[in-house]
Amino acid sequence: MKIVVLDGYTENPGDLSWEGLEKLGELTVYDRTSYGESPLIAQRIENAEVAVINKTPISKETIDACPNLKVIAVLATGYNVVDYRYAKERGIIVQNVPTYGTQIVGQYAVGLLLEICSHYGHHDRTVKEGRWEKDADWCYWDYPMIELYGKTAGIIGLGRIGQATAKILKALEMNVIAYDAFESEEGRKLAKYVSLDDLFAQSDIIFLHCPLFPSTEGIINKDNIAKMRDGVILINNSRGQLIVEQDLADALNSGKVYAAGLDVVSTEPIMPDNPLKTAKNTIITPHISWAAQAARQRIMDITVDNIKSYADGNPVNVVNR
């Protein structure tokens, strides 16, 4: 079995091992291929039975150019970079890694919120630059210090990651509400389900933990922002396309939205003219919520198991059955 990894560096920059995949077949690993449509993608996997990807796109055209391809294994939970419907038509299975990052992504979401509330990084820099030792007062702060106790957090998407975030928020003694198209008993233990409009109206902080579907694309837009409380905080480490970025930038600059903590943007890597880069009170990190070594090791282990299950004739974690 010929296995080709197209963009392996972000999964394994050198602190993990590809040994598990090597045991399954003839393995070729490319650190990087392309994050846009490119003939190089098909050239590298045209003879492969298994293509392993993270964010390298696999389009209809690429699939048509790769007659031996039987499996597309995604080193992530999201698989929107793959034309998975067309893959199904061609008898190609698409596998993902659904549960590797539940805890770390929830942790990171709350971490973005805590940075907004206390600006640890900024104040650390000012101390090291010598300001505290010269200050006339025994302490200072350059931003409002925000206490989260008693505030209302609204979570859009109360699946595994949304629930992990909710557990942390409950420990902070916050009021947690949620909107999800599919309500669950587990969700009810952690949050009160409300309508989307009620969530916008009641939340002091809004977390986006929903998948990117046509129904959720652009869910944060000027019309829905208008329904929110003045001074709301927005956290997104799900998918950048959930937000109409110019609308959010306008709301940040006007003060309607107090701050945003973002680990994702609509086009990644970020474009030079992204309006959120210069918007007020915005933290942007480079899509690293998932990147703790422990989480990446789980991705590796589950991907090996996924491909082994295909080889054994009983594929698991198939998203395009």
Active site residue 268: yes
What whole-number distance in Å separates Cα of residue 304 and Cα of residue 3?
Answer: 11
* 3-state class percentages of the chain: helix first, strand second, coil last, to nearest 5: 35, 15, 45
Counted residue by residue, the chain has a size of 321
Among 143, 145, 163, 147, CA closest to 155 = 163
Which amino acid does the sequence have at 75? Answer: L
d(CA 306, CA 275): 39
Q: Report the candidate in 261, 267, 274, 264 with the shortest Cα–Cα distance to residue 113.
A: 261
> Is 125 tagged catalytic?
no
Q: Count the neighbouring beta carbons within 10 Å of the beta carbon of residue 169.
A: 25
Residue 35 and residue 27: Cα distance in Å, rounded?
A: 21
- Determine the Cα–Cα distance for residues 163 and 157; give it in Å rounded to an integer: 9
Instruction: Tell me the chain's radius of gyration from C-alpha atoms.
Output: 22
Q: Which two tokens stand for residue 9?
A: 């560096």
Q: Which burial class, exposed, middle or buried, applies to 65 when counting CB atoms under 10 A from its CB (0-12, 13-18, 19+)?
A: middle
Contacts of 263 by beta carbon, 8 Å cutoff, 6+ apart: 108, 112, 236, 237, 284, 285, 286, 287, 288, 289
Q: Tell me: cis bond preceding 269? Omega within 30 of 0 counts.
A: yes
Active site residue 287: yes
One-letter amino acid of 282: T
Catalytic residue among 19, 147, 186, 268: 268
Q: Which of 119, 287, 296, 298 is catalytic?
A: 287
Given 119, 239, 296, 298, which residue is catalytic? 239
Indicate the pairing of strand 93-95 with strand 257-262.
unpaired
User: Which of the residues are catalytic?
Assistant: 239, 268, 287
